[in-house]
């Protein structure tokens, strides 16, 4: 069962991530470059990922 939700705000060169438990407890907040983002997501356990861009 997935117990983490990762919100991703997409931008040209920097991604802002917000991780929370499914109950809403904050687990992390990060600002990552594209290359850092790929490595970070690959290292995570299964999670629900929500993306936002505008």
How many independent structural domains does the chain possess? 1
C-alpha span between 36 and 48 (Å, rounded) = 19
DSSP secondary structure, 19-40, as one string: EEETT--EEEEEEEEHHHHHHH
Residues of the domain holding 37: 4-51
Looking at residue 54, its pLDDT comes to 73
Q: What is the pTM of this model?
A: 0.84
What pLDDT is stored for residue 13 in this prediction? 86
Q: Can you give the pLDDT at residue 24?
A: 92
Q: What is the pLDDT of residue 17?
A: 96
- Please give the structure tokens belonging to residue 45: 């356990």
Q: What is the pLDDT of residues 1-54, one digit of tens each?
A: 689 999 999 888 899 999 999 999 999 999 999 999 999 999 999 999 999 977
């Amino acid at each position: 069962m997935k117990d983490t939700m990762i919100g991703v705000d997409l931008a040209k060169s920097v991604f802002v991530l917000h991780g929370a438990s499914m109950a809403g407890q904050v687990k992390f907040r990060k600002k990552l470059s594209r290359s850092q983002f790929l490595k970070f997501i690959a290292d995570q356990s299964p999670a629900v990922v929500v993306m936002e861009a505008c």
